[in-house]
Structure 1
């Protein structure tokens, strides 16, 4: 029982600050007990962690940490006597067997946890039990399977700033991925962090309180401006981020003399970030070696740029409304069978390719897999039998894998051979990549299977790990154990015959070991050589010198056997760790095949086509569909639509899209963006046919969002996002805008919308779909040659309208907003008055002609019936009140 459980003070519930609670700085250390003094000294070494201190069957915390975890974990807060003149201090603890569960909760709340374990048996300790911090768990350094999401990476990132230049490195220590980059646009640093969604971010600072962890939302004067504070940030000393130290650390870890092969030799900020990250891993992981893949340098310009707003609006991995996986693009496309494949698909969707050869290589594999249903089914069935090779190799390399992990690894390595045989006739690049299993891994799998029991226990210190015939000494000890157990079994029979007591039994108790039990009624018949050991209500228990001698022999042999099994297992685990890099290389190839097989499955059952990747800027879609909405509806319910953009002389660069609310304008915008994105991922797309040029960026401005935390209104957020688009879009970009200018006065909003549309069409010539309720923008198509009007059709009936969800050429003249209000349930009197006001406004408003007259691109005025409206008359507008 823990000291917490034995405390005689009444427990204090979470949220109560006990009178005996004092901060560490308020206590005279000379007055503390040796144990508490050791705790406080360790806490000084890890000031910004929660220190879990092993005491018997519990991990205890004291002082400030006790109050923190009691509140964070909703535990009972109690107290403990801590020495002379100190009195009681706050204490809270957790059972040792629930360490993983509670650490997962603490890390999930943004805390770092230092684990202090007992390094010797308390029963054999002389004085204070030796304890050491064996690992530090921070949000970005989690390795335990139960604390990780199987289908998402857990990234630890680090960045270094130098003016507008920055370098960043990130790693997932559970999978071994380790990448770095450098860039000159500081805005892109925030976008990269938002793409990666790292669990923890390191950055160097001159702050006096270094190594401080900032939890999500916590601000600090030392956090660089423009960096989103939604992550856990750990401030670090500058020393570990200096160029000489960082470069030396990378070379030392990976055993290289130059960083040329890693592609970052001439990227000093990238080197500094990567080196600082490695130092942090060494400090937190202690003796555990983390087998990272060799550092890889990537360049942002190698991938399509998707800013955070576009990822959110397109709902690539999460829905924008409630942040759930269900209803996202990833949800619609994920038919992967392995955790590795699930993570790979997520990465692919967030980093679409710009290289048409890589895109076509993925398309070739999907095409090959989609043409043979039986083959694809066998492939996916086999993939489902492969465990998470990346993380299994990582746990083996770090020394945290258990026997079941290695058995799973052995089974997976065996499946790799089956996979190679299955795809032996594959023609595409990605299938050919898994057609050969390295002989080293084949031998490793055989060795693991021949050494390990098929169903070993989780514990590594209780035996039953290693098969018979592996080690002669282990076989001898097991044979001796069998002999000793037989002796024990025979003892009961022999003693019954010797004593004449038919109910005599030989039993075992953890506290006293082996004993001879005789009922109280027969205890007088116990032989003289029996030594009474324990008296119970109905039984007397005895031992004999011979029994105790045999017991000692059994225990010693068992201890020796368990230790020998453990040593053999550790050697096996170390051997696996040496090949972690090769295992992960193979795993990456398997993950790619898994992703492509899943995309082929989706393509077949959802009726997708293979897009033709064109050299120019064209977007040509026949019967395009929204992949998520279509999957959410019954078969055949989704109305497909065409899209034509970017082909000189054939299709416009900018489409003005009008139509009523809820008619499908936003869905149309998003489906064009998602089809373009899916094509550059290498996927087939939801359309009858598709011809698509490579797109460097996709920009979206959809929906009304405010940012109250920074004091920005909905309209200001809209203007900020619009400014970002206009400042970064190119003629190879795809811009999707919905309702620009609706957050301010009518004249202001219409003017902004008009000028934004003109700028995109004329100055940038980006491929753009501009959805709006400003029907006056339809005039722009008569002024600018690369602009066209499209509308979403409706069918009007006497008492209702029917949305047809069909996009056709031409501009809508009405938005049917009042009808939408009626459908939403506005009172009839409100609807009636709205129609009266609208009638008067339509009579007096001549905004469109005024905009046309004032445009620098104006053509001769358009005849309105038999009368041309003069420019001066077009400025007149009065409300009919």
Structure 2
């Protein structure tokens, strides 16, 4: 197992199983400060060796060493940081040999494609056949290798790539590595976490789980949260709650019991009956501060008064929260896991520690002294020193009175005995007319201020000997007492961290409950059966941007189900809501498994282990491959990793190549999914060839649907109904959509003509097309203007060139206007025998079956 942390708590991981010779890669994600995800990976993989960078955080190394101490078979290997750099990682990954089932395209007519062994690469086959690619041609060997690897794993996740590179660098040095420094693998795949859904970065971006907008102020470092699922759910009031909610959105649950426990809590907190208790909890949670940071400062001896006070105030607020949650659970007769968690953390032991700190620290004195002061009555020795210090002032006045008669009158105006914590007792005088040389015998000059001079005398030495440095003794004793409290704090620190975790979880549950109440969400019925039955589902983000949103149903089931089919193919006009429908299904499933309620009338959702999407192509100059290659890699991940419990959303896959090739690829993908695990799949496409030309076998159990639209006969406008209907649409109505979005009518008319001729295979007529009367007139006017310009004998000395050019253009425009007016008069005098059709509304598709 290889773990790589580039910065903060970002984590990338890769594991290798020598029995199957496969590398599993986990994309970049955020871990907690306690490295819970790293521990989960170690427990899940049960690796014999854990490889980390030499610059790995000490806290992560400590966790790994603790794990290795519990499981002696596991060893920690710290590898040079250079093996984890991005450049070296790319080199290591690109030199890895993977199974290649592709057939190279060559120009040799005599070569006949035949099957190759799975571990033989296309480049090796070409070399064996005598075709050597020129160095640096095309993408280059490394980029081409990364494009091919992108079909196995996401090579655009930096931390994951670095972790994989470090792992491969370690494996190459082992005895079982192949010769020549190249490591052979049977495959690479995504690393799925137990009890967590696998959803990659492309899916998170396409579904708008996290999204940020550029801030109006260019110099603002923190991005502004845009309209996204996390932004909608994030009403947490504590920093620890916001961090945990972010983690919940990164890793949805797949454990049915844990999901139901979250749903139980969200249902309780969102009910009107317990609204007051929820508001009380929010007020208490606002008092929670950075307990973890304060404990860290106290443990290192760098704590201030504010650290101790902030910690105690937060713990008192935690006690309030525990009591409120306990009363809420008792009144609702409900068993809440968060209640059990808080009761276990904020128990008698932690309350005893709070009482001990409150009874020990004098907060008012500490504020005045700007250090931790101990209350009176806590320690007898400390109280005795304080009493002696308090009685010292009358004694000092008495000593000053005894010294004064023995001091010459002209040496000083006033005389006092003072005490300095670091210097002891000193005589302070306001100097008279004589200098330092005339001081009494035995007086030693120490220092002076603007008003006084200070001396050490035998009487002062006597005071120091009998009373000592009382102030330092008091401070030292208080430090010892606070050190004892620090040791007590270390004993209860795990309980405090457990309380922090419980409060963070409670904050997240209250945030999800607030979202459910605000947006009228309902609790989904969760089941282990791979089913997806949604009644009147909505897209929560799109719904916020419009006055009304048309809800739609979904009925799918993975595997071989008696009542429902596993795949739905949706067609329809451009802009009719197909993409929104596909995203809404994925979002409803996703929101249910993070523990929230869903935007629907009702929903029965079977646990989804993986969500794969082909919704949005994220192109970048740094991203290897074209847009179509990126689409292929996304679909390849789905084909390799899908199970009967997965959910796949494919939106217009194949549009990046020729229509025939795109439709053929899509048909192949559909058949592969239907013949394989049969995951719950929604295909959104404009490839009507799939059923019009029978690209798909009629025996496949696929549900064909389309988004309904309305068309008024005699009118060019199209009306979207955004309603799903269980029938096939035979056209995408691109021309009507083009007119609706402002494309010139002549362009649309030409497009319709070309489409009609191509559909009739009358391609020759496209070449025999004649110009219209308007086009001929326009061409004649242009020719007239050009001839006028060519016949002009320019004399720049006597003629104003710009004026003549303007006259030419003006004459040509007048000629055009006259010709247009003449054509208009000719058309107006012709009899009009045409009868205008009576507008009537009809469905664009024939023989349509009502979905109701």
Q: TM-score of the superposition, structure 1-length normalised?
A: 0.59
Query: Is the Cα–Cα contact under 8 Å of residues 446 and 455 in structure 2 kept in the other structure?
Result: no
Aligned length: 631
Aligned-residue RMSD, C-alpha: 5.4
Match of 1:645 among 542, 551, 556: 556
Q: CA deviation at 1:768?
A: 1.4
Query: Residues 734 and 543 (structure 1 numbering): CA distance in 2 closer, same or farther, change over 3 Å?
Result: same
When residues 208 and 324 of structure 1 are mapped into structure 2, their CA distance, relative to the original with a 3 A threshold, is same
Aligned to 1:342: 242
- Find the counterpart in structure 2 of residue 727 from structure 1: 640
Q: Report the CA distance between 1:824 and its aligned residue.
A: 7.0
Match of 2:159 in 1: 231
Query: Cα offset for 1:335?
Result: 3.0
- Alpha-carbon offset, residue 799 of structure 1: 6.8
> Is the CA contact (8 Å cut-off) linking 2:410 and 2:434 kept in structure 1?
no
Instruction: Measure the CA separation in 2 of the matches of 1:415 and 1:533.
Output: 52
Further displaced range: 645-654 or 668-677: 645-654
C-alpha spacing 1:491/1:677, structure 2 compared with 1 (3 Å): farther
Distance 1:458 1:159 in 2: 52
Aligned-pair distance for 1:688?
1.4
How far off its partner does 1:431 sit?
4.5
Distance 1:500-1:773 versus aligned 2 partners, 3 A rule: farther
1:76-116 residue CA offsets vs partner (Å, 9 max, x unmatched): xxxxxxxxxxxxxxxxxxxxxxxxxxxxxxxxxx9xxxxxx
Q: 1:427 aligns with which of 334, 344, 355?
A: 334
CA contact (8 A) 2:421 2:470 kept: no
Q: Is the 8 A contact 1:216 1:229 kept in 2?
A: no
CA distance in 1, matches of 2:684, 2:577: 10
Q: Within 2, Cα distance between the matches of 1:492 and 1:739?
A: 98
* Residue matched to 1:179: 39
Alpha-carbon spacing, 1:357–1:640, altered in 2? closer, same or farther (3 Å): same
Change (3 A) 1:476 1:651: same
Secondary structure at the counterpart of residue 536 of structure 2: strand
Deviation at 1:712, TM superposition (A): 0.8
2:278 alignment partner, SS class: helix
In structure 2, C-alpha distance between the alignment counterparts of 1:208 and 1:354, rounded to whole Å: 33
In structure 2, C-alpha distance between the alignment counterparts of 1:723 and 1:237, rounded to whole Å: 25
Q: 1:510 to 1:182 in 2, by over 3 A?
A: closer
Q: Which residue of 2 aligns with 1:677?
A: 590
Q: Within 1, Cα distance between the matches of 2:93 and 2:490?
A: 37
> d(CA) in 2 for partners of 1:321 and 1:813?
42
Q: Is the 8 A contact 2:25 2:164 kept in 1?
A: no
1:686 is paired with a residue whose SS is coil
Identify if the C-alpha distance between structure 1 residues 408 and 534 changes in structure 2 by more than 3 Å, giving closer, same or farther: closer
How far the C-alpha of 1:717 sits from its partner, in A, is: 0.9
2:80 match: secondary structure: coil
- 1:448 paired with 2:357, answer yes
SS in 1 for 2:622: helix
Higher relative contact order (CA 8 A, sep 6+): 2
Tell me the residue number matched to 2:197. 304
Asked if structure 2 preserves the Cα contact closer than 8 Å seen for 1:313 and 1:320, the reply is no
Point out the more displaced range, 766-775 or 669-678: 766-775
Q: Determine which structure has more spread, i.e. the larger CA radius of gyration.
A: 2
Deviation at 1:599, TM superposition (A): 1.7
Give the direction of change, closer, same or farther, for the CA distance of 1:173–1:736 in structure 2 (3 Å limit).
Answer: closer
- Alpha-carbon distance in 2 for matches of 1:468, 1:498: 44
Displacement of 1:673 in angstroms is 0.8
CA distance 1:703–1:581, change in 2 (3 Å): same
Q: Distance in 2 between matches of 1:467 and 1:331?
A: 47
Say if 2:280 is the partner of 1:378.
yes
* Structure 1 gap segments, 5+ residues each: 1-109, 111-137, 143-153, 243-297, 847-872
| SS of match in other structure, 1:300 | coil
> Is the Cα–Cα contact under 8 Å of residues 157 and 200 in structure 1 kept in the other structure?
no
CA distance, structure 1, for counterparts of residue 677 and residue 763 of structure 2:
33
* Match in the other structure for 1:787: 702
In 1, Cα distance between equivalents of 2:752 and 2:282: 62
Tell me the secondary structure at the aligned position of residue 880 of structure 1.
Answer: helix
Q: Deviations over 1:792-849 (max 9, x none)?
A: 4455685755555444444445546567667777xx6xx3454134213321344xxx
Aligned equivalents of 1:713 and 1:201: distance in 2?
38
Deviations 1:547-578 (A, max 9, x none): 98799899954444444333333332232222
Check the 8 A contact 2:156/2:623 in 1, yes or no: no
CA distance in 1, matches of 2:348, 2:198: 40
**Distance of 2:571 and 2:463 partners within structure 1:** 89
- The CA deviation string for residues 434-460 of structure 1, in whole angstroms up to 9 with x for no partner, is 34543211211211222234479799x
Give yes or no for the alignment of 1:329 onto 2:229: yes
Q: Does 1:410 align with 2:312?
A: yes
Q: Name the residue aligned to 1:633.
A: 545
TM-score by length of 2: 0.61
- Deviation for aligned residue 1:749: 1.7
Which of 508, 520, 545 is the matching residue for 1:607? 520
Q: Deviations over 1:143-199 (max 9, x none)?
A: xxxxxxxxxxx256776645445699999684463614369999xx9xxx9xxx999
